[in-house]
Amino acid sequence: MKFNFSKWHGLGNDFVIVNGLEEKINNYNEMAIQVCDRYFGIGADGLVVILPSAIADFQMRIFNSDGSEAEMCGNVTRCIARYVFEYGLTNKKKITLETKAGLIKPELIFIDDVLSTIRVDMGEPRLKRGELPMVGNEDEQVVDEVLEIDGTEHRITGVSMGNPHCILFVDDITGINLSDIGAKIETHAAFPKKTNVEFVQVLNKQELRMRVWERGAGVTMACGTGACATLVAAVLNGKTDRQATVELDGGQLLIEWGSDNHIYMSGPAVEVFRGTYL
């Protein structure tokens, strides 16, 4: 199969983007595994396809490097917003994207005709156990709850941004074995659809340091929905204000929990290269 693609990243969280309005891929799940392979493919955390939508400007489908489909991804949302604008698919600076997590609204912010940042209305966080989803009373919130892994108790907070997140606050993020504990929490029986896992060190009321184990992708440089979920969890636990900078391995995102109950994420999106997959 042959198709044109563009490689992008948001703070090191990288994606192969395909314009599905023009290119055809027969099996997205299998192709994601092939193109995301960092030795035998293009190399990426995910394959993302732009498609037509009856309810938004575009539809965005996201496939992790293991072939599974994700409901939503914050970092690639910024990349898609810049892609469709710079590739001439739209002249709008504020667009709507149809995702499996609902409608998402990114906006390109220009200062003196120079792109400054991309701000995304990520919608409202979902806090009930049934919305995560997580086993137990579906109407309860999961805030500072005990989760046992290998005989050790971890305090977790659950937040959904259309995809599930399990947030753990730690004193020293450098001491965390991300691949070990992250993988075990992702597949824990408490999460019927698995979960993304964020480890967070609170620096102060306006700054958080976060590392992530992403469901279906493993350790990544950044996770936009994870940064949003992290701020929500920090507020619920009384650790930060409703606006904070989240520092990830790949850089920083500004996250706001607005008075309208929507989460707003601001950060960059960068095209790395473009080519033809053979």
Residue 1's alpha-carbon distances to 20, 23, 231, in angstroms, are 14, 10, 42
Q: How many Cβ atoms are within 10 Å of 16's Cβ, its own excluded?
A: 26
* 52 and 114 together in one domain: yes
Q: Is residue 202 domain-shared with residue 112, that is, in the same domain?
A: no
13 is in an annotated binding site: yes
Residues 115 and 153 in one domain: no
SS3 assignment, position 63: strand
Give the chain's largest Cα–Cα span.
56
Q: Please, what's the b/e burial string for 169-182 (b: 16 or more CB within 10 A of its CB; e: otherwise)?
A: bbeebeebebeebb
Claim to verify: residue 136 and residue 220 sit in the same structural domain = yes
- Pair (155, 249) in one structural domain: yes
What is the model's pLDDT at position 156?
98
Indicate if 255 and 140 belong to the same structural domain: yes
Q: Distance (Å, rounded) from C-alpha 166 to C-alpha 230?
A: 9
CATH number of the domain encompassing residue 45: 3.10.310.10
163 is in an annotated binding site: yes
Residue 98 is assigned to a ligand binding site: no
Number of neighbours of residue 271 by Cβ within 10 angstroms: 15
Residues annotated as catalytic are: 73, 223
- Pair 163, 234 in one domain: yes
- Beta-carbon neighbour count of residue 150 at 10 Å? 7
Under DSSP, is residue 106 helix (H, G, I), strand (E, B) or coil? Answer: strand
In Å, what is the CA distance from 105 to each residue of 57, 71, 117, 146?
10, 15, 14, 35
DSSP lists the bridge partners of residue 115 as: 110
Identify the pLDDT of residue 1.
83
How far apart (Å, rounded) are the C-alpha atoms in residues 200 and 203? 9
Whole-model pTM: value is: 0.94
For residues 101 and 223, membership in a common domain is answered with no
The pLDDT value given to residue 95: 98
Residue 81 domain boundaries: 3-121+267-277
160, 125 Cβ separation under 8 angstroms: yes
- Kindly list the distances between the CA atom of residue 56 and the CA atoms of 48, 51, 64, in Å, as whole numbers in the listed order: 17, 10, 23
For residue 218, say whether it is annotated as part of any ligand binding site.
Answer: no
- Give the Cα separation of 16 and 26 in Å (integer): 16
- Residue 201 has a pLDDT of 98
Pairwise CA distance, residues 68 & 252, whole Å = 27
138 and 63 in one domain?
no
Instruction: Please check whether residues 20 and 117 belong to one and the same domain.
Output: yes
On whether both 154 and 116 belong to a single domain, the answer is no
Phi, psi of 154 (to 5 degrees): -120, 140
pLDDT at 9: 98
- Number of folded domains in the chain? 2
Report the C-alpha gap between 201 and 192 in whole angstroms: 27
C-alpha to C-alpha distance for 153 and 101, rounded to whole angstroms: 31
Please give the structure tokens belonging to residue 240: 């930060």
Tell me if 196 is assigned to a ligand binding site. yes
The reply to whether 156 and 58 lie within a common domain is no
Which residue type, as a one-letter code, is found at position 254?
Answer: L
pLDDT score, position 42? 98
27 assigned to a ligand binding site: no
Q: Which residues of the chain have pLDDT under 50?
A: none
Query: How far is it, in rounded angstroms, from Cα 272 to Cα 55?
Result: 30
